[in-house]
Structure 1
């Protein structure tokens, strides 16, 4: 980070009311550096020694990818900030997968030594300028640190004079704060490392980036209040004062932590002498502003004579609010496609967009982090044939009429805004239209259809703020047929009807996946469990969307409850805990009693009982010492740590593997992925041609 001398220390309490620190200045931190380490050969040898040569062959793809990720992370200098983030996340997942190999008895045999330098001063040696350690905990801590550092640099590099830039920066600083919180609470106390990984320093960085994220949120609130003419209400004044106080507390805590340890103070000053006065001034400034804002609620006679110095950032709403409005749509609806359960087997076995795959025989396939999807899909866990009971039990997919969404959306933008504004988001409109057409294709695999539906759902969330398009001469009309009675249909302009229909199909598709699994295999059993959980999640979200739209009867809230109840009692993992006094017919009676659709409910309930009994009696043998299961357990831990604020959805739009990218404030289709899709499409066409 470049040094700056534009901030000086306030000399007295009276100066605080006159002091206006550089509110545009945001701090970021450098990455930790490391020496190269060869990981593939020693880890493969370790697996072959501890397990077997066949086990080493099962996981060698993960080990190769782990080695490539680390090499790219340490040696490549041509990576953009989003690509560095993707590489670090991929490496961290691989690292957690191999973590079971780093046991106490393997430390003397694997020959792996990790070297990491202090990020703030590589020459500083009072607390191990170079930290070398065989413990994988140091490696994980250093990677988490670098993820926090990358997010801090992304946040600092955003154009915060625009609504979109401020949104991206706020989410980036929040993500950085989250990573340093994980370091502070989960790693720093157990490792002996460089100063930047100590308890004091990781907590300081957590507080610093929390402060910067809160400051941007405050600016956004001030701007929203100004735009909506809400700044004068007593409630808004009280909330504003609270936000100022919260920002001040975060800056104050970071400042106090650094000053509490002379070594920390010296360490920071050697890196950048303006940090401490910057934190000090920000703390005092926002504390005084909190007092001023709170006093505005008092009668005029009792208010202090000094006035507020913080003004909302001027934003060019006409230029930026369009893209920001669409990006906010995907952020505010991210819970739609994020189930509470960690459905790792559904992703690893089925999704074409997952870079890790479980192949036949438990072999793990790991694609390079920088290879765009789609990735190979494994169908070995799916049964080649289905019983008649399974066919009766499966929920059919809803069908819809073709729709040209691109023309409708683009014409609306041109009419309401301008041709230039339509051009700014044209990439999104093209992607929406492509996914809308693709989700109904007959030649899609289960995994391809699921991925297409999820991507389409995300795009629908982005364009949702545009609806209802009442000013458009030709608003899109969504036409869907009843899944259980194709003669019945419903046509609406309501986008919630479209979202509810897509969610229904995701649930029905997950149910089909579960019923097609080979339950005699470990992977098939686990995939069925995840697929049932997935179906339950989609039906729950579908019922919420259905409340906002009148539709065909199978989209009703009541029907969604019936279908979820049936799915709940199909969970294969729940069989062992059910009471023997509750036979299957009684369990399904609850679902039947909930429904007003008696013929439909009766058919679904009675056809579910044979499959329930099949899952209950299906023998599955698990092996806790299996190398694949150990690696997958580590993957689950990594995925659990990385969810939520650690991977904000709007920053995924900066990634090279996102189907829609933010480029210079515009939404564009990812050219790399488009080229891959066209190549695959051409390949499929050639394969389908009869031989000459």
Structure 2
């Protein structure tokens, strides 16, 4: 490969796009009037917090954009998109005599207000399409701003380009088709071009990782590289063909930056030549492996930057295997201390500002109304075998930090110190018996994520004093297991998450729609955690009997019967007055019952759809580590404990809701 070829593989030559600009618009007053006139004043009061946050997010998007970091701009856009999805049904009700809402968006590649092209429509489809475009654009800018000379920077850039491509895929398939006479950058063909461009750039970075770790003597590695070159070539070729097909788009791009077309064309020619040259390295079908693994992390005995990369990759792997369905967001909307949207007393929806750090205060009134001892008494025999597991205290921070110092260096330990502090703090919090069910669940989930990040460093053979995890049998506390095995810790946390969600479900009053939904979602949530325990951890844990596969199978069997009894109490759309409308989620084959005459129900339905899009399709957990509201954050390649973790202590001190005792 000559120097010119190497230059083409240089990740510094990556393209990103500007954000679309818009004019200010007042949303709160006309939407509140609309809710009050269509529903009632009481309905307007229930959702005014969402309307206020919607207005604030759009104002921040217009006025504060220049003063915000790229991750903060992404956070603002995501929060605004959720709010926008919640109010979307209102726009179908806007009459000619109502206060007009006029959205004005300018072309991203020609934003000059005097000579540029604007699109003015009083339709929310334009607003959502423009926000999705900007989410893709901001992710492309995050990718381009990463230090791609490091493995961690390349990984973040690769994930950000993939997310950008996913947003433009959604723009192409879903949002752009409903926008008539919009600016050129919102046409389906142009969105398709941007999707293939950013997908090609992500693939190129992934290929670079393969080349860095390539063993010239390994036939399988050569085979993978040959396939990767061919894949990257096809993606760049598709992007270039789309640009040539759309002459207006090509002229448009040329007016923005005349080097774009040349750049993409050079990429096509380079990867085409490389793919042909490496074609002979492709193994015969009989010698090809059944499954190709993704790019692997660096070796564990590498430098500090590699250690951070390993930790970040683990959180991405966890996310890919443990996605929750859209129906289970109801648990977070009511219970989670970290949810930006909360359902309060009498169905009131509260939306916290996107830049307000978690945890958010919990209103115990709705929880007390949902928790009913009579609803759980008939199932007390089923619950009796699912108490939470107990564990001995453990100073994880000291043992893990000493390991990183001995195995690597003091500088490596400093780079991951924030994660170790967070890990230690969360383990202490999750063992507290005085926590409310919601807060304990949050601590367990965050702690499990941190455990997955450090798992590659176990067993800690280089440490003279590795941590010893001690867990007691949930059914027979006289039995315990004491091991260095991190899978015992992970399995025990998953067991407690499943048991805790079952407690929540059994504590709910199914006489109300919210109590019923919360119970069903909590049971779905519990099934998810037990499934994770059974599939990924039980065989490796080799701990107490309650973690064994036969015992888990019995739990799941009885648990399934419990879920059927709950579903039998309140079948969707039949025994709940007014809840006759159903919407279908094709990805999970689930029906969500809602009341079309209740504006909060309409908002919740919109939130579920937005959650489905963002969580299932368009977000990467490693990008969340750049967020200002992430408990663990990446700063200059280091993993630091974010200031938001200081908040739980004050929340705990002021918390009046204690864990429900079930008889």
- TM-score w.r.t. the length of structure 1 is 0.85
The answer to whether the 8 A contact 2:82-2:610 is kept is yes
Shift of 1:572: 5.8
The answer to whether the 8 A contact 1:360-1:380 is kept is no
Partner of 2:109: 120
- Comparing 175-184 with 364-373, which one deviates more in the overlay? 364-373
How far, CA to CA, are the matches of 1:216 and 1:43 in structure 2?
45
How far, CA to CA, are the matches of 1:109 and 1:528 in structure 2?
40
Q: Secondary structure at the match of 1:484?
A: coil
Shift of 1:443: 1.6
How far, CA to CA, are the matches of 1:261 and 1:335 in structure 2?
35
Shift of 1:392: 3.0
User: Is 1:662 paired with 2:634?
Assistant: yes
The answer to whether the 8 A contact 2:152-2:305 is kept is yes
How far, CA to CA, are the matches of 1:681 and 1:637 in structure 2?
32
How far, CA to CA, are the matches of 2:442 and 2:360 in structure 1?
12
User: Is 1:80 paired with 2:69?
Assistant: yes
Partner of 1:562: 554
Q: Secondary structure at the match of 1:662?
A: strand
Partner of 1:605: none
1:630-649 alignment to 2 at 5 Å?
630-649=602-621
Alpha-carbon deviations, 1:453-477, whole Å to 9, x = none? Answer: 0000000011001101112111111
The answer to whether the 8 A contact 1:519-1:620 is kept is no
User: Is 1:324 paired with 2:309?
Assistant: yes
- Comparing 55-64 with 554-563, which one deviates more in the overlay? 554-563
Shift of 1:341: 4.8
User: Is 1:64 paired with 2:52?
Assistant: yes
Alpha-carbon deviations, 1:92-129, whole Å to 9, x = none? Answer: 00000001101165365241010000000124999x81
1:223-372 alignment to 2 at 5 Å?
223-225=212-214, 229=215, 231-296=216-281, 317-335=302-320, 337-372=322-357
Aligned to 1:188, which of 176, 179, 184?
176
Shift of 1:680: 3.8
How far, CA to CA, are the matches of 1:470 and 1:19 in structure 2?
40
CA gap 1:381/1:149 in 2 versus in 1, 3 angstroms: farther
Partner of 1:407: 398
How far, CA to CA, are the matches of 1:109 and 1:40 in structure 2?
13
How far, CA to CA, are the matches of 2:392 and 2:338 in structure 1?
27
How far, CA to CA, are the matches of 1:646 and 1:573 in structure 2?
36
- Comparing 510-519 with 233-242, which one deviates more in the overlay? 233-242
User: Is 1:209 paired with 2:189?
Assistant: no
Alpha-carbon deviations, 1:251-286, whole Å to 9, x = none? Answer: 111111112222211110110000000000001101
The answer to whether the 8 A contact 2:492-2:547 is kept is yes
How far, CA to CA, are the matches of 2:573 and 2:449 in structure 1?
39
How far, CA to CA, are the matches of 2:326 and 2:23 in structure 1?
37
Alpha-carbon deviations, 1:589-616, whole Å to 9, x = none? Answer: xxxxxxxxxxxxxxxxxxxxxxxx7999
CA gap 1:614/1:185 in 2 versus in 1, 3 angstroms: closer
- Comparing 546-555 with 65-74, which one deviates more in the overlay? 546-555
Shift of 1:553: 1.2
CA gap 1:492/1:675 in 2 versus in 1, 3 angstroms: closer
CA RMSD of aligned residues (A): 2.5
How far, CA to CA, are the matches of 2:44 and 2:93 in structure 1?
20
Alpha-carbon deviations, 1:532-589, whole Å to 9, x = none? Answer: 000111001011201112111111122222222222232369746xxxxxxxxxxxxx
The answer to whether the 8 A contact 1:118-1:124 is kept is no
CA gap 1:527/1:458 in 2 versus in 1, 3 angstroms: same
CA gap 1:200/1:86 in 2 versus in 1, 3 angstroms: same
Shift of 1:340: 3.6
How far, CA to CA, are the matches of 2:270 and 2:55 in structure 1?
48
User: Is 1:21 paired with 2:8?
Assistant: yes
Q: Secondary structure at the match of 1:277?
A: helix
User: Is 1:51 paired with 2:51?
Assistant: no
- Asked which structure has the greater CA Rg, the reply is 1
Partner of 2:512: 521
How far, CA to CA, are the matches of 1:332 and 1:637 in structure 2?
24
CA gap 1:279/1:683 in 2 versus in 1, 3 angstroms: same
User: Is 1:177 paired with 2:165?
Assistant: yes
Partner of 1:474: 465
The answer to whether the 8 A contact 1:398-1:505 is kept is yes
The answer to whether the 8 A contact 2:361-2:651 is kept is no
Number of residues of Structure 1 aligned to a counterpart in Structure 2:
614
How far, CA to CA, are the matches of 1:270 and 1:474 in structure 2?
63
The answer to whether the 8 A contact 1:164-1:321 is kept is yes
Alpha-carbon deviations, 1:421-461, whole Å to 9, x = none? Answer: 11110111111000111101122111100000000000001
The answer to whether the 8 A contact 2:47-2:600 is kept is yes
How far, CA to CA, are the matches of 1:391 and 1:617 in structure 2?
27
User: Is 1:511 paired with 2:482?
Assistant: no
Partner of 1:438: 429
Shift of 1:676: 2.6
The answer to whether the 8 A contact 1:17-1:288 is kept is no
Partner of 1:7: none
Partner of 2:89: 100
The answer to whether the 8 A contact 2:530-2:556 is kept is yes
Q: Secondary structure at the match of 1:159?
A: coil
How far, CA to CA, are the matches of 1:57 and 1:108 in structure 2?
23
Q: Secondary structure at the match of 1:347?
A: helix
How far, CA to CA, are the matches of 2:126 and 2:617 in structure 1?
23
CA gap 1:370/1:20 in 2 versus in 1, 3 angstroms: closer
How far, CA to CA, are the matches of 1:463 and 1:328 in structure 2?
10
How far, CA to CA, are the matches of 2:571 and 2:259 in structure 1?
65
The answer to whether the 8 A contact 2:370-2:514 is kept is no
Aligned to 1:548, which of 524, 540, 543?
540
How far, CA to CA, are the matches of 1:407 and 1:19 in structure 2?
45
Partner of 1:304: none
Alpha-carbon deviations, 1:608-640, whole Å to 9, x = none? Answer: xxxxx7999995322332111111000000001
User: Is 1:376 paired with 2:347?
Assistant: no
Aligned to 1:152, which of 134, 137, 140?
140
How far, CA to CA, are the matches of 1:60 and 1:341 in structure 2?
24
Partner of 1:601: none
How far, CA to CA, are the matches of 1:562 and 1:617 in structure 2?
31
The answer to whether the 8 A contact 2:325-2:612 is kept is no
The answer to whether the 8 A contact 1:529-1:572 is kept is no
**What 5-or-longer segments of structure 1 have no aligned partner?**
1-14, 300-312, 577-612, 686-692
The answer to whether the 8 A contact 1:170-1:216 is kept is yes
Shift of 1:683: 5.4
How far, CA to CA, are the matches of 1:181 and 1:109 in structure 2?
34
**What 5-or-longer segments of structure 2 have no aligned partner?**
285-297, 580-594, 657-663
